[in-house]
Amino acid sequence: MKMFFSKYRVMNQLTPVQMLFFFYFIAVIISTIILSLPVAHQEGVEIAFIDILFTAVSAISVTGLSTITVADTLSTTGIILLALIMQLGAVGIMAMGTLIWLILGKKIGLKERSLIMTDQNQTSFQGMVRLIKGIVYVLLVIELIGFLVLGTYFLQYFPTAGEAYLHGFFGTISAITNGGFDITGSSLIPFRHDYFVQFINILLIIFGAIGFPVLIEVKEYLFLKSETRHMFRFSLFTKVTTTTFLILIIVGTIMIFLLDMNRFFADKTWHESFFYALFQSVTTRSGGLSTMDVGLLSEPNQLFMSLLMFIGASPSSAGGGIRTTTFALSFIYIYTYIRGGKGIRIFNREIYDEDLAKAVAVTLVALSIVFTSVLLMAIIEPFGLGQILFEVTSAFGTVGLSLGITADLSSFSKVLLMILMFIGRVGIITILLIFKRRKKKMNYRYPKEKIIIG
């Protein structure tokens, strides 16, 4: 009993960020145990522990990189369990915990609200419980619609209704959580000519990657009465996120096509080229599903896709990477500086210096992490630099696209990718705050002095 209270006191001494890190670590352990159960495997199939752990981390971080073929390894029970783990990873550990807490009629205190705020990358305690309710409600409605639409449509592809709806269920969860796992054995390549399936998956990936607060604001706008709708004002976060997201998809689609216009797309019809390029652009936001073997694209194209995966999805979403708002602020800051301006103004609003500093810090730290990871893997792996960079940015962006080298990596590289997936999911800011110490207030300041830059 004394030991229990001692541990409880230790937990109370942890900061919200450290506690969140601890909870995700526990979630990985539990997910690994679940996926290790014999009932989760197909009969006669044995999986190495490192591969089970890798799959668990990939599912919790909703990445989709895998060292196993899900369709050939996991049983129907295992597939459903994997989908539930992806759901947990997408919504967030604290969001799911809060939902269960609310169902049990428990009160959500300041400590819990602080954890939710950290998990969802928010800046205020206000409305945390309402945010969680909104996220769960919107996700469940979208998932139910996606499941019914895809499951019913798949009846023409699969011999039994059970198989069709299983693919509809798993495909919906994998797309909206940006999980990237598949049970076809070859992602969405079997549906490369079925534009309806691709369109539904594009919508689901966008819903999962654009940011939950954006979805909630859009829902609130749509449910307003027509006479009061003109008074609704979208937040700056929603405006910046949706604009950046849309620009990245459009620019990504155009560039992916142009970089392989005379190679992969040379013998394709206009609609084949459009959907191939559009889907790869959307999936680099953090989706991980693919309608083609990305290894068929040229190295410049793979390098460009690595950049898109490095940027990743939006904050407070199911995706990873440096996030769209970080990229937008860093890009606009450089443009403003070149033009001789001071301060950043977007949509008639001025950005806080603190947010700008965070964006620059996140970008620099992320670049350092990716560079170090590529360097370490290049030393010990026999693969090309382009292949390694693609794998690293895919893990960091929690995307899940691969050039087919994941299963052949050494245990060291697999562990390194697991760390990258974890960092990509919880976010650079969260990782940095783990090591933050309380700063002593200083009653004096040193003289300032100019330093030569550039």
pLDDT tens per residue, range 299-331: 999 999 999 999 999 988 888 899 999 999 998
Q: CA dihedral defined by 311, 18, 94, 149, rounded to 10 degrees?
A: 30
Q: Is 228 helix (H, G, I), strand (E, B) or coil?
A: coil
Average pLDDT over residues 87-116: 61
18 within some domain = no
Residue 13's pLDDT band (boundaries 50, 70, 90)?
low
- What's the pLDDT at 110? 54
The whole-angstrom separation of Cα 51 and Cα 414 is 9
Residue 45 pLDDT greater than 90, yes or no: no
Mean pLDDT within 83-100: 74
Helix (H, G, I), strand (E, B), or coil: what is residue 422? Answer: helix
Structural domain that includes position 354: 126-434
Query: What is the pTM assigned to this prediction?
Result: 0.89
More confident: 365 or 118: 365
Residue 215 lies inside a defined structural domain of this protein: yes
pLDDT value at residue 6 = 45
| Structural domains in the chain (count) | 1
Asked if residue 207 belongs to a domain, the reply is yes
- pLDDT class of 21 with cuts at 50, 70, 90: confident
The reply to whether 269 falls in a domain is: yes
Q: What are the distances in angstroms from CA 76 to CA 41, 71, 161, 165, 167?
A: 8, 9, 14, 12, 11
Q: Is the pLDDT of residue 353 over 90?
A: no
**Contact by Cβ (8 Å): 56, 64:** no
In a domain, 164, yes or no: yes
Percent of the chain exceeding pLDDT 70 equals 85
Averaged pLDDT of the chain: 86
Q: Does the pLDDT value for residue 93 go beyond 80?
A: no
Statement: residue 4 has pLDDT above 50: no
| CB contact set of 93 (below 8 Å; sequence gap of 6+) | 20, 23, 24, 27, 119
Question: For residues 390 and 307, what is the distance between their CA atoms, to the nearest angstrom?
Answer: 9
Lowest mean pLDDT among 1-15, 93-107, 407-421: 1-15
Does 17 score more than 70 pLDDT? no
Contacts 24+ apart (CB under 8 A), 231-240: 236/346, 236/347, 236/349, 237/211, 237/213, 237/315, 237/325, 238/211, 238/213, 238/214, 239/346, 239/347, 240/324, 240/325, 240/328, 240/346, 240/347
Q: What is the pLDDT of residues 390-404, one digit of tens each?
A: 999 999 999 999 999
- Note whether residue 111 is domain-resident: no
In a domain, 323, yes or no: yes
Closest CA to 57 of 48, 68, 66: 66
Question: What's the whole-number mean pLDDT along residues 324-353?
Answer: 84
The pair of three-digit structure tokens given for residue 275, joined into one six-digit string: 């959907």
pLDDT at 108: 55
Per-residue pLDDT tens digits for 429-454: 777 776 666 556 667 777 878 777 76
Which one has a higher pLDDT value, 200 or 130? Answer: 200
Confidence of residue 381 (pLDDT cuts 50, 70, 90): very high
pLDDT score of 157 more than 70 = yes
Percent of the chain with pLDDT over 90: 55
Asked if the structure places residue 454 within a domain, the reply is no
Task: Tell me what pLDDT residue 370 has.
Answer: 97
How would residue 240 be classed by pLDDT, with cut points 50, 70 and 90?
A: very high
pLDDT at residue 16 greater than cutoff 70: no
**Calpha distance 191→334 (Å, rounded):** 41
Residues contacting 426, CB < 8 A, separation 6+:
20, 21, 24
What whole-number distance in Å separates Cα of residue 41 and Cα of residue 166? 16
Q: What is the mean pLDDT of residues 141-155?
A: 96
